Amino acid sequence: MTLQPGKKAPSFSLADQDGKIHTLKEYAGSWVLLYFYPKDDTPGCTTEACSIRDNWAGFHALKAVVLGVSVDSVKSHKKFVEKYSLPFTLLADEEKKMVEDYGVWGKKKFMGREYMGIARTSFLIDPEGKIAKIYENVKPKDHAAEVMADLKELMK
């Protein structure tokens, strides 16, 4: 991974579950959790999304923006958000530009089969648009609490 804490986060322009375009620039001045996940409505990804949803009051209280990103379609994101009542934005990177810019797209192995996919990784971006922290090999169940603890520490 070539991105490092202290470096400027790569810009993006992607549609959310409602087709609305989001850019990193529009979140200047806010802390942003940018979390990359492999696939909508799969066990680990659902656990991670629901954990963030269940900790939403804490993220909201800290005025932190949460953006989930996968290569699934806008339509798939819409179903995922509605099925699990997710209160945050999911971005559709169908052209795989953002996952490549952030270095999270690559070879994966599952049950002896190799394929290309997203490594479950998150980036905490500070109000100036710089990467404050990178989370690799994210544990879906514990991730939201880990990020909130780091945010509270960084905001002191």
Active site includes 50? Answer: no
Q: Residue by residue, what is the 3-state secondary structure of the chain? A: CCCCCCCECCCCEEEECCCCEEECHHHCCCCEEEEECCCCCCHHHHHHHHHHHHCHHHHHHCCCEEEEEECCCHHHHHHHHHHHCCCCEEEECCCCHHHHHCCCEEEEEECCEEEEEECCEEEEECCCCEEEEEECCCCCCCHHHHHHHHHHHHCC
User: Which tokens hold the place of 48?
Assistant: 């991670």
Say which of 9, 14, 33, 45 is annotated catalytic.
Answer: 45
Catalytic positions, please? Answer: 45
